[in-house]
Amino acid sequence: MKPLADLRIIAIEQYGAGPFGSVHLADLGAEVIKIEDPTSGGDVGRYVPPYQEGEDSLFFESFNRNKRSVSLDLSTGDGREAFEDLVRVSDVVYSNLRGDVPAKIGITYDALKAINPRIVCCALTGFGMTGPRSSEPGYDYILQGIAGWMDITGEPAGPPTKSGLSLVDYSGGLVAALSILAGVHAARRDGTGMDCDVSLFDTAISMLTYPAIWNLNGEFEPVRTHNSAHPSLVPFQAFQVSDGWIVVACPKEKFWRRLVEVIGRPELGTDEGFATFAGRRGNAATLLPILDEVFLSRTASEWLDLLRAAGVPCGPVQSVSQALSDEQTVARGMVVETEHPRFGTIRQVRSPVRVGGDEPQYRRAPFRNEDAEYVFTDLLGYDAARVERLATIPPE
């Protein structure tokens, strides 16, 4: 049996952050039932280009494998009643909406505890359900700016720069998944559910970690660094080589001693200005140009072979295509396949969460309302007339 086979989640989710959190739980066996609004065409992720046709997109596939879908308009009496019936037989109501919306549409614990006192209501919002920004929509790019990430990313003389990936969204989804599991554990132990108020803003602020504690307790002001250098350890950055870029890291003194031997400059290891962490940081303006010149003398593969043989932490700067075909990616089975009637065989990356030795099974993302019969007839026991009423979209 899969680790989360006894967990049922009602997911009022769309786009990236919310679905990214629940897809990991679905991969672990949780039954994730997506509630999609029939009046708006369902999850907006279905329509994200490129590689999009009709209500199918590869974007949607990457966030929604192993899930179920049912169309349900929560603003109607019949829709609300069906939703509440689902709450009775579920463990979690999970949403990613604006912070003021869960209370307005009645999907908080206070609104649902009379129906199921053990229900866990997890709201992943942009700014949380309290505070002056709670009613604002939150998007990854905006959060990277507000939380200080863009101010410390990129070249010193360049503009503020976002990460190449939507890391606030994805991290927020993972925090929501963790909150759900903690909430369900407590609800099953104590018999009482709760709200989980998770926000992208809180997630982004929390990930400031050590630059934050340095700033809060000293005069440290994080700044952008040349070639993506570590803010305090030298050398720990990208270096240009004759045919590309590599990353070299010396987070321990032993690695520095090994590095100077590999590059044929042992005198740098005994130089008083470079012998310690503090010395190299204080004299980085002198040391780094020396290293820049040395690394340009060989190719990436030549340097990586030498550095790895000496036990110096290093790696190539690869393209996405190179990363996906990397021998470690292959060895770890990080690319999996699902079959889709429109797109054929879809190759995509798997969840990194590994529990036990059994390999997860992967099923394509659901078509909109594909699981109506299972949800309404098999799970809730509705008759055909009631199912038909739920399928009828009321006039505007």
Say which residues have a Cβ less than 8 Å from residue 132's Cβ, sequence separation at least 6: none
Say which residues have a Cβ less than 8 Å from residue 315's Cβ, sequence separation at least 6: 246, 247, 304
What is the distance between the alpha carbons of residues 343 and 220, in angstroms, rounded to a whole number?
A: 51
Could you say which of 24, 185, 226, 230 is catalytic? 230
Active-site residue flag, 230: yes
Phi (first) and psi of residue 156, to 5 degrees:
-55, -40
Phi (first) and psi of residue 323, to 5 degrees:
-65, -40
Angle between helices 300-310 and 253-262 (to 10 degrees): 130
What is the distance between the alpha carbons of residues 393 and 47, in angstroms, rounded to a whole number?
A: 21
What is the distance between the alpha carbons of residues 149 and 366, in angstroms, rounded to a whole number?
A: 35
- Distance from the first to the final alpha carbon of the chain: 45
What is the distance between the alpha carbons of residues 280 and 288, in angstroms, rounded to a whole number?
A: 9
Show which residues are catalytic: 230
